[in-house]
Chain A
């Protein structure tokens, strides 16, 4: 887990997390309404480049994330490609019917999934939980109890990961993994969830009491250890994002790679 981050000192780590959050979420909405296949192709291309430039993940992790995303996108595209409607048939075999129109729609859908994941990862791989929640409290006035609640939950993740390994070892020792078949598999799943749920509930309750014992109150005014403010970098960030999005649209207009400018029309 510890070697996931290559560097937490990159430019994108210094952006105001609330701004990053809002801008990135609005991008999701923008690309939700794009029906032009060319725009989608160019946008995913430019965001892929941007992702590689700004991501804070170590190379190996970064590669596998993108690879995984590609596979997921392929799945979401394949359903549309193989079972869609259209008049220009490319391939027909029993249930599978591929037409030019469905191919275009499928590709658009796949690329949209891919772009969404990239944008999401640009955010996720350059934002640390503590500054993010501090910024949410300070800039977006998110209630203190939710922010600290989420932070406490983040702390549980590595503890739970360790717990998972322990339970797996214990199952091997008890001979549970020697049983083959569906029923033992179901029981193993059951055991994992029951044990981890029981431990997590207990931990959560203890943590909550400990936090209250430290005079954490949900309403009163408080000071902050980290002041999350604004800087010139935030401006750079807005420019970079706008540039990436605009480039996608401009290239789609001047260098269209396909004839499908609106996949819903055909």
Chain B
């Protein structure tokens, strides 16, 4: 259990099983690493990378009790673990208290604490006016950096990072890796990650897992990645150049919108949250068949805008749909799909809104089958929505919105937290829908999606609609490119 050799750690012949599952997750898996190494673990979702990380840190079986067996489990004396979810890593309400919690665990004298807290916050470049600030007022990226600061307070020699940027936007992701790079210089890093653009610069060893939880490649970064490049696409890993790969295989993503039938008009429109105007637009007119991307920084008011359009928040001014009953023509997909599941099986979930509209059961059955097929959920039809994988949950939420055949689909960061494979599957679906005449309105941080798919880009800044550029055909295409360049500078 404890560390005996000073220079390396690892696990030999690991076998581990999850309760209620017949198959072993690992069969005699061995993995070793040396002091100072920076290792990246890659593999498809559900292959057990995160579990390996928890075994290497001793969290399994010490904190998480799972039936496991190994010939040797050597855990470093001082380690820190960064988890995926920024909201569940803290137990105290304020920033300084959270770091102090770790210092208390280490029995550091009270007199030294304030100084140390400041030092760890400086190390992760988290500059706050007052360290006694509520954690929930921080952005996701800042929370993750605080998580790192509190881990640094353990003075760890080995850092385990379990997809720390999965729930961060591109901006937060970049800053987080910059921080990890700085603090990781003289430490050992073991990283599990799906978005490897910023990670590749500073790791030196890459380990690849297959679906069955076996290591099939392990070696220096360059060689391993060059040899197994095609595997990265298969695993759904975001790697540099994935977009150009995708574009090659893609034909239908040229931008053209011939329809000019107006479906939504906003005039002097304002959205209120707690009696304060959080978004306003003087005039906006959206047309059928457009793919509208809403971009802007965190907290700029993008979500407020679409929630206002959906009538979920109080609004002032004019909001006019070209439909008599907009609730039957407009569908909304939330950022977290779990909130919008209202039944206990995938099948019922799809049928729900049709039953609300009192459609006859034959037609319902037909549509449900059709959508199960189209969104690749056939095998899961009787499962509980909460049991699905992240990608399947997202597909189900889109499918249950689309089953009504709406004219407009509004999405709040639909690709957030999804791996590359799922993202491209979704984008293909949206593209098909748009070509069939559905208007797509989505909030997104991914500028690549904006580049490749959007026919129109709305920029929101400080609660105002500040830019609206339509990109239709030919001559304006170049113009669009330039403008997007501007956006990228603004946004990132």
- Taking a contact as CB atoms under 8 Å apart, the answer to whether B102 and A174 are in contact is no
Tell whether A176 is near chain B: CB-to-CB under 8 Å.
yes
A159 in contact with B87 given A212-B59, A222-B107 (CB within 8 Å): yes
Tell whether A259 is near chain B: CB-to-CB under 8 Å.
no
State the Cβ distance, B413 to closest chain A Cβ, in Å: 14
- Taking a contact as CB atoms under 8 Å apart, the answer to whether A214 and B88 are in contact is no
Q: Which residue of A lies closest to B331 (CB)?
A: A173
For the complex, count residues of B whose C-beta is within 8 A of A: 55
- Taking a contact as CB atoms under 8 Å apart, the answer to whether B342 and A148 are in contact is no
Instruction: Report the bound CA distance from A220 to B110 in whole Å.
Output: 17
Instruction: Report the bound CA distance from A209 to B106 in whole Å.
Output: 17
**Residues of A close to B64: CB separation below 8 A:** 209
Tell whether B369 is near chain A: CB-to-CB under 8 Å.
no
B92-135 vs A: 1/0 string, CB under 8 Å? Answer: 11101100111111111110010000000000000000000001
Interface residues of A in 165-207 (CB under 8 A from B): 166-167, 169-176, 178-179, 187, 191, 195, 198-199, 203, 206-207
- Taking a contact as CB atoms under 8 Å apart, the answer to whether A198 and B386 are in contact is yes
A172 in contact with B91 given A213-B63, A217-B105, A225-B103 (CB within 8 Å): no
- Taking a contact as CB atoms under 8 Å apart, the answer to whether B57 and A213 are in contact is yes
**How many contacting A-B pairs (Cβ < 8 A)?**
133
- Taking a contact as CB atoms under 8 Å apart, the answer to whether A171 and B92 are in contact is no
- Taking a contact as CB atoms under 8 Å apart, the answer to whether A223 and B97 are in contact is no
- Taking a contact as CB atoms under 8 Å apart, the answer to whether A214 and B154 are in contact is yes
Q: Which residue of B lies closest to A173 (CB)?
A: B332
The residue from A129, A166, A217 contacting B336, defined by CB atoms under 8 A apart? A166
A175 in contact with B356 given A155-B90, A203-B88, A206-B85 (CB within 8 Å): yes
Interface residues of B in 294-324 (CB under 8 A from A): 307, 310, 312
- Taking a contact as CB atoms under 8 Å apart, the answer to whether A175 and B154 are in contact is no
Tell whether B341 is near chain A: CB-to-CB under 8 Å.
yes
Tell whether A91 is near chain B: CB-to-CB under 8 Å.
no
- Taking a contact as CB atoms under 8 Å apart, the answer to whether B340 and A221 are in contact is no
**Residues of B close to A23: CB separation below 8 A:** none
State the Cβ distance, A248 to closest chain B Cβ, in Å: 37
A210 in contact with B101 given A155-B93, A172-B312, A175-B353 (CB within 8 Å): no
- Taking a contact as CB atoms under 8 Å apart, the answer to whether A214 and B102 are in contact is yes
Q: Which residue of A lies closest to B357 (CB)?
A: A175
The residue from A155, A170, A206, A221 contacting B83, defined by CB atoms under 8 A apart? A206
Interface residues of A in 28-80 (CB under 8 A from B): none
**Residues of A close to B312: CB separation below 8 A:** 169, 172-173
- Taking a contact as CB atoms under 8 Å apart, the answer to whether A166 and B85 are in contact is no
State the Cβ distance, A186 to closest chain B Cβ, in Å: 13
Tell whether A130 is near chain B: CB-to-CB under 8 Å.
yes
Interface residues of B in 156-177 (CB under 8 A from A): none
Q: Which residue of B lies closest to A210 (CB)?
A: B89
- Taking a contact as CB atoms under 8 Å apart, the answer to whether B59 and A159 are in contact is no
**Residues of B close to A170: CB separation below 8 A:** 334, 339-340, 342
Instruction: Report the bound CA distance from A178 to B357 in whole Å.
Output: 10
Q: Which residue of A lies closest to B101 (CB)?
A: A214
- Taking a contact as CB atoms under 8 Å apart, the answer to whether A223 and B104 are in contact is yes
Q: Which residue of A lies closest to B109 (CB)?
A: A223
Instruction: Report the bound CA distance from A171 to B307 in whole Å.
Output: 13
**Residues of A close to B269: CB separation below 8 A:** none
Q: Which residue of A lies closest to B94 (CB)?
A: A130
Instruction: Report the bound CA distance from A223 to B150 in whole Å.
Output: 16
State the Cβ distance, A214 to closest chain B Cβ, in Å: 5
Interface residues of B in 401-415 (CB under 8 A from A): none
- Taking a contact as CB atoms under 8 Å apart, the answer to whether A154 and B154 are in contact is no
Instruction: Report the bound CA distance from A178 to B94 in whole Å.
Output: 41
Tell whether A141 is near chain B: CB-to-CB under 8 Å.
no
- Taking a contact as CB atoms under 8 Å apart, the answer to whether A213 and B59 are in contact is yes
**Residues of A close to B106: CB separation below 8 A:** 215
Tell whether B435 is near chain A: CB-to-CB under 8 Å.
no
**Residues of A close to B361: CB separation below 8 A:** none
**Residues of A close to B88: CB separation below 8 A:** 203, 206-207, 210
- Taking a contact as CB atoms under 8 Å apart, the answer to whether A225 and B104 are in contact is yes
Instruction: Report the bound CA distance from A204 to B342 in whole Å.
Output: 23
Instruction: Report the bound CA distance from A211 to B105 in whole Å.
Output: 10
Among B89, B150, B151, the one with the most A-chain Cβ atoms within 10 Å of its Cβ is: B89
Instruction: Report the bound CA distance from A35 to B450 in whole Å.
Output: 74
Instruction: Report the bound CA distance from A130 to B81 in whole Å.
Output: 25
- Taking a contact as CB atoms under 8 Å apart, the answer to whether B334 and A223 are in contact is no
Instruction: Report the bound CA distance from A57 to B461 in whole Å.
Output: 35
A179 in contact with B90 given A158-B136, A206-B85 (CB within 8 Å): no
Q: Which residue of B lies closest to A129 (CB)?
A: B93
- Taking a contact as CB atoms under 8 Å apart, the answer to whether B342 and A225 are in contact is no
A147-163 vs B: 1/0 string, CB under 8 Å? Answer: 01001101100110001
- Taking a contact as CB atoms under 8 Å apart, the answer to whether A155 and B63 are in contact is no
Among B332, B336, B342, B386, the one with the most A-chain Cβ atoms within 10 Å of its Cβ is: B342
Tell whether A254 is near chain B: CB-to-CB under 8 Å.
no
State the Cβ distance, B106 to closest chain A Cβ, in Å: 7
- Taking a contact as CB atoms under 8 Å apart, the answer to whether B310 and A225 are in contact is no
A213 in contact with B107 given A174-B353, A225-B100 (CB within 8 Å): no
**Residues of A close to B336: CB separation below 8 A:** 166
- Taking a contact as CB atoms under 8 Å apart, the answer to whether B341 and A195 are in contact is yes
Tell whether A216 is near chain B: CB-to-CB under 8 Å.
yes
The residue from A130, A178, A217, A223 contacting B108, defined by CB atoms under 8 A apart? A223
Tell whether B186 is near chain A: CB-to-CB under 8 Å.
no
State the Cβ distance, B452 to closest chain A Cβ, in Å: 28
Instruction: Report the bound CA distance from A154 to B97 in whole Å.
Output: 14
Among B108, B113, B339, B341, the one with the most A-chain Cβ atoms within 10 Å of its Cβ is: B339
Instruction: Report the bound CA distance from A166 to B335 in whole Å.
Output: 10
Instruction: Report the bound CA distance from A212 to B108 in whole Å.
Output: 17
Q: Which residue of A lies closest to B307 (CB)?
A: A169
**Residues of A close to B89: CB separation below 8 A:** 206-207, 210
- Taking a contact as CB atoms under 8 Å apart, the answer to whether B105 and A222 are in contact is yes
State the Cβ distance, A153 to closest chain B Cβ, in Å: 9
**Residues of A close to B150: CB separation below 8 A:** 214
A223 in contact with B103 given A174-B340, A214-B151 (CB within 8 Å): yes
**Residues of B close to A198: CB separation below 8 A:** 338, 386
Instruction: Report the bound CA distance from A220 to B104 in whole Å.
Output: 11
Tell whether A227 is near chain B: CB-to-CB under 8 Å.
yes
A-B residue pairs in contact (CB < 8 Å), sample of 5: A173-B312, A210-B81, A213-B63, A220-B107, A225-B100
Which A residues lie at the B interface, using CB under 8 A? 129-130, 148, 151-152, 154-155, 158-159, 163, 166-167, 169-176, 178-179, 187, 191, 195, 198-199, 203, 206-217, 220-225, 227
Supplied contacts A175-B352, A224-B104, 7 more A-B pairs, CB within 8 Å: A169-B334, A174-B342, A175-B327, A206-B85, A215-B105, A217-B105, A223-B104
List of 6 A-B pairs having minimum Cβ-Cβ separation, nearest first? A225-B100, A206-B88, A170-B340, A152-B91, A213-B81, A212-B63
